[in-house]
Structure formats: C-alpha cells, structure tokens
Amino acid sequence: MADFSSINVGDVLPSKSLSVDQALINDYADICGDYNTLHVDVEGMKDHPLFGGTIAHGTINVEPVLQAICEVQGTKWPNVGTTIDLQFRAPVKPGMTITSELKVKDKTDNTLFCDMQILDQDGNTCVRGSAEIII
C-alpha cells in the first residue's frame, strides 16, 4: 500500500502493465462466456477492415488500472466506493503490451481523483477516463 499522506496532486501513481496475447483472450472468453467473433475467431477476423484481427475484451483492457489501484490501496480488489469512468479509444490486439497511467488531479481525506489512461507499447491511448480511488 502506498503512503497516502505522501501522494500529492500532480503525482503519477505507479503503473502496471499487461502483455496481451490470443491465449489470454481465449482464457478470458472461457471464464466469462463471451465468445464473440471479435475476440476469438482468429481466422475470420484477420481481414476485418477495421480491426485486422481479433481484439481483447474491454475488461482485459482495464486490468492494468485495476492492478495499479489495488497496489495503491493495498488490496486484492478495489475498495468499495472506488470508481472508474472510461472511454475506449482504440482496440487492444494480441501482441500488444498495455500500461496504466493514473495522474492525481485532486485529493481529499480518503480519496484520490485521477485522470486515467491505458497506453499501448507505442504510447497510443487505448482507454481514457478518470478514477476515484477510495483509500
């Protein structure tokens, strides 16, 4: 758990990264039951005009932010009341590594208000939004 008193407005919280491959996407499909062609049909999606291959489930894309939040809180799952508000900006495909970026924009007695991004290995934004992290 991070020392809450040492976190200041403007700080960037420790980031977390996730390497995405088709095996991870397939495993996630098995867990959640979402076998949408967009995610699991490698052959059928390879010539897709928009994506050019399969893409990760949206919840996979958010995993680095969840891990970063849990590290700050010292938990295995975000504390009750913690929220994230997000917009998907670009697909995450097998072979990509995505990384969280949480920048503190405000702070109260028990909450960090952060701008949030998930960036790919080239620095492109895949997910953008905000997070309210309850400590």
Q: What pLDDT shows up at residue 38?
A: 96
- What the chain holds in terms of domains, given with CATH numbers, is 9-19+57-134 (3.10.129.10)
Beta strands in 2-135 (DSSP E): 17-19, 83-88, 97-107, 111-119, 125-134
Q: What pLDDT shows up at residue 75?
A: 95
Distance CA 39, CA 26 (A): 8
pLDDT at 101 > cutoff 90: yes
Average pLDDT, the chain: 96
Give the confidence band of 134 by pLDDT, cuts at 50, 70, 90. Answer: very high
Q: How far is CA 47 from CA 35, 41, 52, 54, 120, in A?
A: 19, 11, 5, 10, 22
**Rounded mean pLDDT, 88-103:** 97
Q: Per-residue pLDDT tens for 11-59?
A: 999 999 999 999 999 999 999 999 999 999 999 999 999 999 999 999 9
Q: What pLDDT shows up at residue 4?
A: 86
Q: What pLDDT shows up at residue 121?
A: 97
The pTM of the whole model exceeds 0.85: yes
Closest among 96, 133, 83, 87 to 111, alpha carbons compared:
133
